[in-house]
Amino acid sequence: MKWIDALGEMRRTNTAFVVVTVLEVEGSAPREQQSKIVITEDKIFDSIGGGNLEHQAMEKARAMLTQDKAVTERQRYTLGQDLTQCCGGQVELLYECFPACTFNVVLCGAGHVGKALVRILGEIPCRVMWVDSRPQMLRHAMEEVAAPANVTPREVDCPYTVVEQSPAGSCYLVMTHSHEIDFEYCEAILGRDDIGFCGLIGSRSKAMKFRHRLARKGFSEGELERLTSPVGLQLGAGKLPMEVAVSVAAQLMQVHSAKLAQGADTRAHLGLVADPGKQ
């Protein structure tokens, strides 16, 4: 597979990868400028000439992947002196690391607020699964919002199946056309112990009724506290779909940022990354 095709495949499958580009060449070298290779944890696509240069590039790229963050580096190699390659020239490589996306959003409902939210989420580095039980409504909604590349539509009949198959740590936004379907989603979501967020659209009275129903089904107080409803930051009294969508997206970003900060603190505590406060 050529590197250009590999980029699309890595994005589609949410696989972390590094693109290595030959930036500069002086003297004899295996490949010309702008040659590229795509490197994942266990595969390579295309080539920058093989030999020890490519081997060193693979080792460096895979070390970058373990950092689990977007980073760019340059490195210059003297092929004869540094890598014992007979070409003898000099090559400068550009390393661009693209970690897998861990910001997964499951958007339940293709109504007015859902469509407004997709327009916003399409501009944010996240992966969105947009689900609805009405195939025609979902198709029309995807056409209306021009189907952002990071949004995958899915027609579903059973909320439990969607929730069961979603990645750990997913953020769920529940806003379907039916209170009963909303409830089924909330029941399925709160039944998992590895969710990132569960936001339910609606009034305070709806939220209270849902919590009472869930409590009668055996959910504990701690589990019910994971239900955020009404969802969205209190940015004002606006009730237009885009106004509601902005408040929900802002809260979602807030939750995700807090999660990233917590993860960074944990890695620093374990000594996996440098603690900025100690530099």
Query: Could you report the per-residue pLDDT of 40-88, keeping only the tens digit for each?
Result: 999 999 999 878 888 989 999 999 999 888 899 999 988 766 666 666 6
Q: Which residues are 12's β-sheet partners?
A: none
pLDDT band of 11, cuts 50, 70, 90: confident
Which of 129, 195, 133, 187 lies closest to 160, judged by CA? 187
Of residues 134, 178, 172, 137, the one with CA closest to residue 156: 134
pTM score of the predicted model = 0.76
**pLDDT at position 81, please?**
67
DSSP helix/strand/coil, 22: strand
The secondary structure of residue 95, as a DSSP letter, is E
State the CATH class of domain 104-263: alpha beta
- Which of the pair, 136 or 238, is modelled with greater confidence? 136
Task: At 132, list the tokens.
Answer: 């609805």
Tell me the domain boundaries of the chain. Answer: 3-98, 104-263
DSSP 167: P
pLDDT given at position 87: 63
Q: Which range has the worst mean pLDDT, 48-52, 205-209, 234-238?
A: 234-238
pLDDT number for residue 26: 85
- The residue among 274 and 1 whose pLDDT is bigger is 1
Number of H helices, E strands in the chain: 10, 11
Residue 123 forms beta bridges with which residues?
none
What confidence score (pLDDT) does residue 275 get? 45
**The pair of three-digit structure tokens given for residue 143, joined into one six-digit string:** 């056409």
